Amino acid sequence: MKELSGDQFGKLTQQIYQRLGLHFEEKKNYFLQKRVERRMDALGLTDPQDYVFRICYADPNGQEMQALANLITTNETYMFREYEQLEAFANCCLPEVLSVKQSRGEQKLRIWSAGCSSGEEPYTLAMILQEVFPQSQYWNCEIVATDIDQNMLAQGARARYWWRSIRDVPAAYLEKYLVKDGDSYIVREKTASLVRFEHLNLHDRMGMRAMRNFDFIFCRNVLIYFDDRSRKAAVDNFYNSLNRGGYIFLGHSESIGRISSAFKLKRVETHLVYAKE
């Protein structure tokens, strides 16, 4: 199959950036070439020019960009990833928010896992919530799990995981919240029912505007694929999505400080978290 020219790569990466917020540098051209080839095969195209044309001018409902997005996102994830951060959530932030709510007579808690991939992160949060706050079953608790990649969302909804995904789950949790089925594990119904999967492009302004009234947002290991401009747009939206007193958690290597001063940086145990005051 013919390779994309420099100009074609330029047009394609510009479209990807504008529509998904994902920033692809030139060193990723080989990776993109291979993904485009898969789409061209599926569409029966042989000339990359036709594919670039399709993406730029003949994709009115975004279906082809979505099919490409399903191939070019990085979906690496596993349960209990970045354990220390989850400890800060479980030991301090979650009890604090719950106690404020209890003092106000509120019984509703909303958590958003933004860029949830195949669901390991939202199910981890569901396990922690049940463990830290057994009364959650009497509350209206919801974990909304969103991603742009439809294949990952479908995997998440199946709630079935293999060793790679569950390798860091503490033994007691494994027993309590997952059930072994052959060589895989299924998230138990009570835990799984706390999680609702939804398709959302974090770069879609309208979709982001609909996400409101969250007490916690986890957007870990997602913004690293954005450039500063799309990162700032996403973080500004997250600010509006959070309730006052709520927290946002990014991945270890990610920092909001450089792109937004709206959040307050707090030290929780050994960890730094961002709060909306």
Ligand X SMILES: C[S@@+](CC[C@H](N)C(=O)[O-])C[C@H]1O[C@@H](n2cnc3c(N)ncnc32)[C@H](O)[C@@H]1O
The site for ligand X (CB under 6 A) is made up of: 20-22, 73-77, 81, 115-117, 121, 147-149, 152, 200-203, 220-222, 225, 251
- Between the CA of residue 68 and those of 3, 4, 9, 43, 54, what are the distances in Å? 17, 15, 14, 12, 12
Q: What single letter denotes the amino acid at residue 22? A: L
CA atoms of 78 and 169, how far apart (whole Å): 9
Q: Which is nearer to ligand X, 48 or 242 (CB)?
A: 242
Nearer to ligand X, 45 or 62 (CB): 62
**Of the two residues 124 and 130, which places its CB atom closer to ligand X in the complex?**
124
Which pairing describes strands 184-187 and 140-147: parallel, antiparallel, or unpaired? unpaired
Min separation Cβ 105 and ligand X, Å: 33
Alpha-carbon distance values, 171 to 18, 65, 78, 102, 175 (Å)? 44, 41, 15, 31, 6
Cβ nearer to ligand X, comparing 82 with 215: 82
Smallest distance, Å, CB 140 to ligand X? 24
Asked if 74 contacts 86 with a C-beta cutoff of 8 angstroms, the reply is no
Residue 235 CB, shortest distance to ligand X, in Å, is 13
Residue 248 CB, nearest approach to ligand X (Å) = 13
Q: Which is nearer to ligand X, 2 or 167 (CB)?
A: 167
Instruction: Give the chain's radius of gyration (CA, Å).
Output: 20
CB of 264 to ligand X, least distance (A): 23
CA dist 29 and 48 (Å) reads 13
Closest CA to 208 of 238, 229, 231, 230: 238
CB neighbours (10 Å) of residue 130? 20
HSE at residue 55, side-chain half, CA atoms within 13 A, is 26
Q: Which is nearer to ligand X, 203 or 271 (CB)?
A: 203
> What's CA 137's distance to the chain center, in Å?
25
DSSP-derived letter for residue 62 is: S
Rounded to a whole number of angstroms, the minimum distance from the CB of residue 251 to ligand X is 6
Closest to ligand X by CB, 147 or 215: 147
Minimum CB distance to ligand X, residue 41 (Å): 22
